[in-house]
């Protein structure tokens, strides 16, 4: 179904298109195409949840039972059924299990499956068909972190951390009572790769956890309008340049019930990231970062005393250092670990010993390592996922200690996510390509031999869908290739002129276009294409997966270079004979909301209409961790903050602009948009505005359909 | 310029039109027509500020000097000049006076003028040309209440009340420190005729003041987005059916510095209104009202001890009693006072003695007394303003103790505001009619002899303006006459079809149409008429000046009867050949915002577009005093609250609806609109929304022009 289209101008190299016209004239509505829509599930590629490793056997669940597959022979062996599990649960008066999505098999040698129920964690022995352990946290427990090694789980309730064990005990690890002290939760607003607040040691003998004091952070006054009388719901939100929170790392010993805190430097204006345990549980490694985010230190602490032992490695950068990955210790040598850094311009692997000596850079090149997936102990190789085959892809590779990389995955023109077996000899490769909705293959890494476990049908089978093309144009620097995606209506007529909408994100840590199913197209883009619009997206400089220079050219003036690149996209669109340059629209959310407003204000008259969702308007209202990385502080970069404050451009607004900002947005607080509206009112310009009360940074769930109908109507009003 | 137009249907009796086409084709913009616009002042009829009585002499200021006019002879006598005043002020190092707008002449016998400066109150003796008294309150004093009798003033700062005297003393009358205790300010949210919180006794020996405890009232979380980090600005807002504040009345004695509080019943759920002093300062009269607002009591208290002496008069009503006027004692008999009540269906005067004996009803008829303006001691007559000549008018009348009413004003086809001289023999009559922008006449009441002091020129002289007509149609009850105003473009062509917009208010205590200058037309109506719209306004049942039955037919289901009447207006518009029934719009603010939303939801498809400002959506979010008068409580009238809660009709929205709700609206809190948006989102209907950050219940000042441009664009988008 691929077709190659002639290049339309010098800077353009269209590569492929998928889903050419088919035969049925069904059109899909927002209920079908938008997450949250009543029938959206029908059009999401099917998947099998719970496929995983049990040692070196592949677990494959169906609706009714769970089997183990021998990856060498492909032989399937049924382990247990849902009925058996539910009988055992019922015998213990426990709630029913409905599916196998979240079960785990932590013990390669034991016939034990861990079943997380709504109120309990249960261990089921499928050899003896009996429940062997039940752990019951308090009701409404959050941030549950189960440790198989000791059959315990820690969880938070309110702002304290608790330990529940299978003997029925429930112990408070922290007893904080002061508002603003938060234990056991993710800190630093989930930046620096932080996603959780508890870290079990490898054998389960100790627990590291975050304790954050945010009592000194100014509260932002959000409002709950569902209460009988609207109620203040303040959140602690550290804004760029303002007082930030302080973090500590505790080491809790379940045997003694005692907690030791790491004896770090003063935590004021300091980030403690990527907590890593030594395999022997004696040491804790933390990557620490100054508030400027231009100097990181890998520091080793004694896990028993909390004493600081050594700075193993330091990294500085005139722009920023951004540690995102914990250490990965070599399974065959506990004195060596892999450190990830983009200091050579791309995220690569570096082998260190535990005294901080760099042994060697393991990977190198103008591509980046995205994840470490596992190790092959026998071959002493590392299984990773990289962009080595294309910056639009994630592909599974094996790299040896000399840096030799072999791609072993099944979708070398697509996007893969792998889970590797205990030995590292086998991998479960879940992947899609522009034409393959979803496949799961079982692979022998050494031979690339595979067994298909699952192939999702095309959810749009028989439906005449829009066509999707990708290609590259040059960035505003004249040199860099930027990838775009172009969507045409199914009944596309090259002699017609179509209204055209740019969907933009444009910020760091995101890439809109991948060589995954349908090139990552969004449901709304398909919907609009069905309604007769050309849809266009360009990943500008500053976006993800292209290396540090590409990302950081935006440093200290976020949005400026990005707009220049997007204007190259506009030039490209204007060069296309079927694009009606008088009916251009633009839409984006969050950073893309900023981009939408910025494009309308920096280039008035180019677009007839824009819809900006949850936009950053003024970086001084954004939070410290993300904001200061790219913008420094309002005190140290006043010119940059001024240049990027869209309030200062409010008088330029002449096109139709609808801003949608959710009323309870905790990420990009409503002050951004309200202050922009005020600036426009003062400048006598006329944005439109809408809000979704109760919604956070994105409109999720059923209301997401409403949102997209709202956005659609705006373009239908002003572009058609 | 009047022209009578043929009745177009049975229920219609058009009466007049003003401002027929003239010659110049200048059109006025929003800057000219909207208050806050740069050149709006040019189009407001000119006036003379500071015209008043000095005993029986009429004070007439110009820009440069102040004269006294003998009303009998018309002889003018210059009293002083601005230059003289400013010299005297300068000699005392006081700030300069710029105009005579706010000067007063409290002493008939003395050559003293009181000059309120920004920081001082000054008494100037224009006989000796010297400043005789200076009173200096604290900086940023508010609610200043000057007492000429004792050369003192009381004022509030924060929530406490202070007394400043001309000897330079500044005394705290209250010393409250608890948040939520408010002294010396207006209470009960300015309902029941309450406009202030301090009441000097006639000779200035005592001061009555309100003390309100609102600490038990739930706070509504408004937000200030101008702060570096948005800041909560909670207000105490008692919502219908919820806990309300408690009020006490203190009597402060400046001689002793002591305060006695009136020994009232438990102030929980009770209103203390219309504080009145006996002429001898020994008694205080308060009209008290239960929370249900259906039982009022006039109670006399001893002003020295605070003891309750007697309930003089009680009134009950199955709907509501609404005392709005303090007692007026007869100057010739300190034992008799006039009480105002609408118990016979219209507000009329009742003569009582101080033991509570009704002597007689003084006025009667299907019209109402709007104000008591003065007394003629010699003739023992009362000077009042009434709707006796027309419910669209206010006309000055003299009534004797037998109830004989004589209209003595100069504009018996217009709207008059009079100030009467000390003796009651003379009046300053400031008036307008549909054709007279503004005139000030000096009248001898007995002979109706007059002297014109000022005549404002027509501010639209030479400009071709829209035509304005008024008339009546029948209400939905088939019986009641309702007044309407219809505005046609200047170049009106009866063969064309015009888009037509209803401007609606519709709530109690307001009337949109008067026989005043241009029938009270709004600048925006003129602007839209200039742009080619027919503009229409109808005062439905429930509005002001038509008596209790007319107003209270809406009881317990506000908005329902009102909508029925407005639909009669729609029927009328549809009967007009030049109205394009397919392009009807509707706009209103506050109660009119409620009406706009209600009309669109109760009658979908009638209008193409509506713009609702600051709407009440659900009366349970409105305040206790106003809301419960008309709706009772959510607990006692659940059906009424349900019927009038527009959230329950959110699914009916099919026309274009823009809701504008100011972000800092303290009268109709934003919860109304935000909860409505949420209801629409859930019902998958699509209102539009805008907000004016920092603005209160109305968008005032310069931004008001922006507001009206915003409203205009909406109608231009969807009606044209």
Q: Within this chain, do residues A186 and A317 fall inside the same structural domain, yes or no?
A: yes
Residue A353 in any domain: the answer is: no
What is the residue-averaged pLDDT of chain A?
A: 95
Q: Do A692 and B709 touch (CB under 8 A)?
A: no
CB nearest to A234's CB, from B232, B682, B706? B232
pLDDT at A21: 41
pLDDT at A24: 52
Of the residues B590, B656, B661, B662, only one is catalytic, namely: B590
Chain B residue with Cα closest to A690? B689
Q: Concatenated DSSP letters for A492-523?
A: --TTS-EEEEEEE---TT--S--SSGGGG--H
Asked if A700 and A22 count as a contact pair (C-beta separation under 8 A), the reply is no
Residue B661 in any domain: the answer is: yes
State the pLDDT confidence band at A448, using cuts at 50, 70 and 90: confident
CB nearest to A684's CB, from B223, B693, B706? B706
Asked if A14 and A472 count as a contact pair (C-beta separation under 8 A), the reply is no
Asked if B503 and B536 count as a contact pair (C-beta separation under 8 A), the reply is yes
- Given a cut of 80, whether residue A278 has pLDDT beyond it is yes
pLDDT at A74: 94
Residue B90 annotated among the catalytic residues of the structure: no
B670 shares contact with chain A (CB less than 8 Å) = yes
Q: Within this chain, do residues A128 and A210 fall inside the same structural domain, yes or no?
A: no
**Residue B280: Cβ within 10 Å count:** 12
pLDDT at B25: 60
B225 shares contact with chain A (CB less than 8 Å) = yes
CB nearest to B688's CB, from A229, A239, A688? A688
Ramachandran region, residue B386 (left: φ > 0; alpha: ψ -120 to 50; beta: rest): beta
Q: Within this chain, do residues A32 and A73 fall inside the same structural domain, yes or no?
A: no
Residue B404 in any domain: the answer is: no
Q: Do A671 and B717 touch (CB under 8 A)?
A: no
- Dist. CA B418–CA B414, nearest whole Å: 13
Percent of chain B with pLDDT strictly greater than 70: 96
B305 shares contact with chain A (CB less than 8 Å) = no
A220 shares contact with chain B (CB less than 8 Å) = yes
Summarize the confidence of residues A259-266 as an average pLDDT.
98
pLDDT at A25: 60
- Dist. CA A424–CA A383, nearest whole Å: 7
Looking up residue A173, the CATH number of its domain turns out to be 2.140.10.30
A228 shares contact with chain B (CB less than 8 Å) = yes
- Dist. CA A325–CA A621, nearest whole Å: 28
For residue B691, give the 3-state DSSP assignment.
coil
- Given a cut of 70, whether residue A4 has pLDDT beyond it is no
Tell me which residues of chain B, numbers 478 to 517, contact chain A at a CB-CB cutoff of 8 Å.
Answer: none
Q: Do A225 and B710 touch (CB under 8 A)?
A: no
Q: Which residues of A touch B713 (CB under 8 A)?
A: 686
Q: Do A677 and B669 touch (CB under 8 A)?
A: no
- Given a cut of 60, whether residue A16 has pLDDT beyond it is no
- Out of A135, A168, A201, a domain closes at A135
Residue B313 to residues A396, B316, B632, Cα–Cα distance (Å): 92, 10, 24
CB nearest to A681's CB, from B678, B686, B703? B703
**Token pair for A605:** 């008259």
- Given a cut of 70, whether residue B337 has pLDDT beyond it is yes
Summarize the confidence of residues A230-236 as an average pLDDT.
96
- Given a cut of 70, whether residue A503 has pLDDT beyond it is yes
pLDDT tens track for A582-623:
999 999 999 999 999 999 999 999 999 999 999 999 999 999
Q: Which residues of B touch A663 (CB under 8 A)?
A: 674
Helical H runs in A169-275?
none
Of the residues B441, B520, B632, B665, only one is catalytic, namely: B665
**CA of A690, closest CA in chain B: separation in Å?**
5
- Given a cut of 50, whether residue B282 has pLDDT beyond it is yes
Q: Within this chain, do residues A233 and A256 fall inside the same structural domain, yes or no?
A: yes
A694 shares contact with chain B (CB less than 8 Å) = yes
Residue A135 to residues A171, A204, A677, Cα–Cα distance (Å): 12, 16, 52
Catalytic residues of A: 590, 665, 697
Chain B residue with Cα closest to A686? B710
Percent of chain B with pLDDT strictly greater than 90: 95
Q: Do A663 and B684 touch (CB under 8 A)?
A: no
pLDDT at B720: 83
**CA of B694, closest CA in chain A: separation in Å?**
8
Q: Do B229 and A223 touch (CB under 8 A)?
A: no
- Given a cut of 70, whether residue A493 has pLDDT beyond it is yes
Residue B573 to residues B474, B483, B486, B507, B711, Cα–Cα distance (Å): 13, 14, 9, 21, 21
Summarize the confidence of residues A703-715 as an average pLDDT.
98
pLDDT at B448: 80
A366 shares contact with chain B (CB less than 8 Å) = no
Q: Which residues of A touch B710 (CB under 8 A)?
A: 686
Asked if B364 and B342 count as a contact pair (C-beta separation under 8 A), the reply is no
Q: Do A218 and B229 touch (CB under 8 A)?
A: yes
Summarize the confidence of residues B240-249 as an average pLDDT.
98
State the pLDDT confidence band at A11, using cuts at 50, 70 and 90: very low
- The number of folded domains in chain B is 1
Residue B464 in any domain: the answer is: yes
The answer to ipTM > 0.90 is yes
Residue B384 to residues A21, B202, B214, B535, Cα–Cα distance (Å): 83, 21, 37, 34
A703 shares contact with chain B (CB less than 8 Å) = yes
Residue recorded with tokens 């929205």: B653
B244 shares contact with chain A (CB less than 8 Å) = no
- Given a cut of 80, whether residue B382 has pLDDT beyond it is yes
Residue of B670, B681, B694, B719 best to disrupt the A interface, most CBs of A under 10 A: B681
Residue of A216, A220, A229, A242 best to disrupt the B interface, most CBs of B under 10 A: A229
pLDDT at A14: 32
**Token pair for B617:** 């959506």
Residue recorded with tokens 């910025």: A598
pLDDT at A720: 83
Q: Within this chain, do residues A111 and A227 fall inside the same structural domain, yes or no?
A: no
Dihedral Cα B140, B145, B146, B150, nearest 10 deg: -120
pLDDT at A409: 95
pLDDT at A27: 82
Residue B151 in any domain: the answer is: no
- Given a cut of 50, whether residue A12 has pLDDT beyond it is no
Query: Looking at residue A591, what DSSP letter applies?
Result: H
Looking up residue B495, the CATH number of its domain turns out to be 3.40.50.1820
Residue B565 in any domain: the answer is: yes
**Token pair for B590:** 């506050």
Summarize the confidence of residues B679-704 as an average pLDDT.
98
Q: Which of A250, A79, A85 is nearest to A163 (CA)?
A: A250
Q: Which residues of B touch A641 (CB under 8 A)?
A: none
- Given a cut of 80, whether residue A22 has pLDDT beyond it is no
Chain A residue with Cα closest to B672? A225
Residue of A222, A227, A670, A678 best to disrupt the B interface, most CBs of B under 10 A: A678
State the pLDDT confidence band at A1, using cuts at 50, 70 and 90: very low
pLDDT tens track for B156-209:
999 999 999 999 999 999 999 999 999 999 999 999 999 999 999 999 999 999
Structural domain range at position A77: 47-135
- Given a cut of 50, whether residue A196 has pLDDT beyond it is yes
State the pLDDT confidence band at A107, using cuts at 50, 70 and 90: very high
Residue A191 in any domain: the answer is: yes
Residue A275 in any domain: the answer is: yes
CB nearest to B225's CB, from A232, A671, A694? A671
What radius of gyration, in Å, describes the C-alpha atoms of chain A?
Answer: 26
A710 shares contact with chain B (CB less than 8 Å) = yes
- Dist. CA B529–CA A568, nearest whole Å: 45
Q: Within this chain, do residues A714 and A601 fall inside the same structural domain, yes or no?
A: yes
Residue of A674, A701, A703, A708 best to disrupt the B interface, most CBs of B under 10 A: A674
pLDDT at B19: 40
CB nearest to B694's CB, from A226, A678, A684? A678
- Given a cut of 50, whether residue A19 has pLDDT beyond it is no
Q: Which residues of A touch B217 (CB under 8 A)?
A: none
- Given a cut of 90, whether residue B1 has pLDDT beyond it is no
B703 shares contact with chain A (CB less than 8 Å) = yes
Q: Within this chain, do residues A117 and A22 fall inside the same structural domain, yes or no?
A: no
A231 shares contact with chain B (CB less than 8 Å) = yes
Q: Do B221 and A228 touch (CB under 8 A)?
A: no
Summarize the confidence of residues A437-466 as an average pLDDT.
95
- Among A14-28, A374-388, A580-594, B45-59, the minimum mean pLDDT is found in A14-28
CB nearest to B221's CB, from A223, A671, A678? A223
């Amino acid at each position: 179904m691929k077709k190659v289209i002639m290049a339309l101008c010098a800077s353009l190299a269209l590569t492929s298109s998928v889903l050419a016209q088919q035969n049925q004239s069904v059109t899909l509505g927002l209920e079908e195409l938008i997450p949250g829509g009543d029938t959206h599930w029908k059009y999401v590629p099917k998947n099998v949840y719970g496929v995983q490793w049990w040692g070196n056997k592949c677990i494959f669940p169906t609706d009714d039972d769970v089997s183990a597959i021998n990856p060498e022979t492909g032989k399937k062996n049924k382990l247990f059924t849902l009925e058996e599990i539910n009988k055992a649960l019922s015998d213990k008066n426990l709630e029913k299990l409905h599916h196998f999505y979240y079960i785990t098999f932590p013990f390669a040698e034991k016939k034990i499956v861990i079943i997380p129920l709504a109120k309990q964690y249960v261990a089921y022995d499928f050899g003896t068909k009996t429940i062997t352990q039940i752990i019951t946290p308090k009701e409404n427990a959050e941030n549950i972190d189960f440790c198989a090694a000791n059959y315990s789980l820690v969880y938070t309730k309110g702002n304290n951390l608790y330990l529940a064990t299978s003997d029925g005990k429930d112990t408070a690890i922290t007893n904080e009572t002061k508002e603003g002290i938060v234990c056991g939760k993710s800190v630093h607003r989930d930046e620096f790769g932080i996603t959780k607040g508890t870290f079990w040691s490898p054998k389960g003998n100790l627990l590291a956890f975050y304790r954050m004091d945010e009592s000194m952070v100014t509260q932002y006054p959000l409002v709950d309008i569902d209460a009988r009388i609207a109620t203040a719901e303040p959140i602690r939100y550290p804004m760029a340049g303002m007082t930030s929170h302080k973090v500590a790392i505790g080491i809790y010993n379940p045997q003694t019930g005692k907690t030791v805190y790491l004896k770090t430097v003063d935590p004021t204006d300091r980030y403690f990231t990527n907590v890593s345990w030594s395999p022997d549980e004696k040491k804790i490694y933390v990557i620490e970062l100054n508030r400027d985010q231009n100097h990181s230190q890998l520091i080793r602490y004694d896990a028993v005393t909390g004493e600081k032992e050594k700075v193993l490695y330091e990294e500085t950068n005139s722009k920023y250092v951004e540690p995102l990955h914990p250490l990965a210790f070599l399974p065959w040598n506990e004195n060596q670990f892999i450190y990830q850094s983009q200091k050579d311009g791309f995220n690569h692997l570096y082998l260190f010993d535990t005294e901080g000596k760099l042994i060697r850079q393991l990977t190198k090149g103008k591509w980046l390592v995205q994840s470490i997936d596992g190790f092959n102990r026998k071959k002493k190789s590392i299984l990773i996922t990289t962009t080595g085959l294309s910056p639009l892809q994630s592909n599974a590779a094996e790299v040896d200690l000399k840096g030799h990389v072999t791609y072993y995955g099944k979708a070398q023109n697509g996007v893969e996510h792998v889970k590797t077996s205990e030995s590292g000899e086998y991998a479960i490769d879940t992947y899609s390509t522009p034409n393959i909705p979803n496949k799961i293959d079982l692979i022998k890494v050494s031979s690339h031999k595979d067994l298909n476990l699952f192939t999702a049908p095309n959810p749009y089978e028989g439906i005449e869908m829009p066509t999707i093309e990708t290609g590259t144009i040059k960035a505003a620097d004249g040199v860099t290739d930027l990838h775009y995606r172009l969507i045409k209506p199914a009944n596309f007529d090259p002699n017609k002129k179509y209204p055209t909408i740019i969907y933009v994100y444009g910020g760091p840590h995101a890439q809109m276009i991948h060589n995954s199913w349908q090139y990552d197209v969004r449901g709304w883009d398909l919907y609009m294409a069905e309604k007769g619009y050309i849809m266009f997206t360009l990943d500008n400089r500053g976006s993800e997966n292209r290396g540090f220079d590409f990302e950081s050219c935006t440093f200290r003036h976020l949005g400026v270079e990005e707009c220049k690149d997007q204007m190259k996209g506009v030039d490209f669109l204007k060069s296309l004979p079927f694009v009606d340059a008088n009916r251009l629209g633009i839409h984006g959310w969050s950073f893309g909301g900023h981009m939408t407003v910025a494009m309308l204000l920096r280039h008035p008259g180019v677009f007839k209409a824009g819809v900006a969702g949850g936009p950053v308007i003024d970086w001084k209202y954004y939070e410290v961790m993300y904001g200061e990385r790219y913008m420094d502080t309002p005190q140290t970069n006043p010119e940059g903050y001024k240049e990027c404050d869209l309030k200062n451009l409010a008088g330029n607004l002449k096109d139709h602009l609808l801003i949608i900002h959710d009323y309870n947005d905790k990420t990009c607080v409503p002050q951004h948009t309200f202050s922009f509206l005020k600036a426009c009112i003062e400048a006598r310009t006329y944005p439109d505005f809408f809000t979704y009360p109760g919604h956070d940074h994105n409109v999720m769930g059923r209301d997401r359909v409403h949102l997209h109908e709202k956005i659609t109507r705006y373009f239908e009003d002003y572009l058609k």
